[in-house]
Amino acid sequence: MPMTDPSSGNGRQKAGKILIYICAIGLIVSATLKFAHVPKVVAQMSSMGYEDGKLVLVAGLELISALLFLVPATRSVGLLIISAFLGGGIASHITTSQFLQVLPPSVFLFLTWFGSWLRHPEVLWSWSGQTGRLPARREIAGSL
């Protein structure tokens, strides 16, 4: 099945775009709650050692990563930073023995990658079985 232009609007790419926007908006909302110092959010972040300036720093990084992820030209950098950011969040929850709190960022991270893959299949190019080089978009389309 030949890959069409991303703007052509096939279902897979639309679903990916929707997931990308949902995940980015979720991060923006989360950052906003941290900036607003919502008591429940502040309490949870404080339990992991993120207070005052650190809380604002985390919120800023979260907002920047979401904005980078929203813009197609910087989406790959945004995905990388979101992965690191949510990975750090997962590690913080594990370190503080908040094991049930690991699930939300894990699911969110999965959805971020899944949406990226739906919209940009080349994001998982190494799974195509071709090592040593990044395959062309048409080669990826042929393997789908």
Q: What is the pTM of this model?
A: 0.78
Written as six digits, the tokens of 67 are 């904005």
Q: What is the pLDDT of residues 9-55, one digit of tens each?
A: 589 899 999 999 999 999 999 999 999 999 999 998 998 889 989 99
Counting beta carbons within 10 angstroms of the beta carbon of residue 40, is it exposed (0 to 12), middle (13 to 18) or buried (19 or more)? exposed
**Does 125 score more than 50 pLDDT?**
yes
pLDDT value, residue 143? 47
Distance CA 23, CA 9 (A): 20
Alpha-carbon span 75 to 105, nearest angstrom = 19
Compare 140 and 124 and report the one with higher pLDDT. Answer: 124
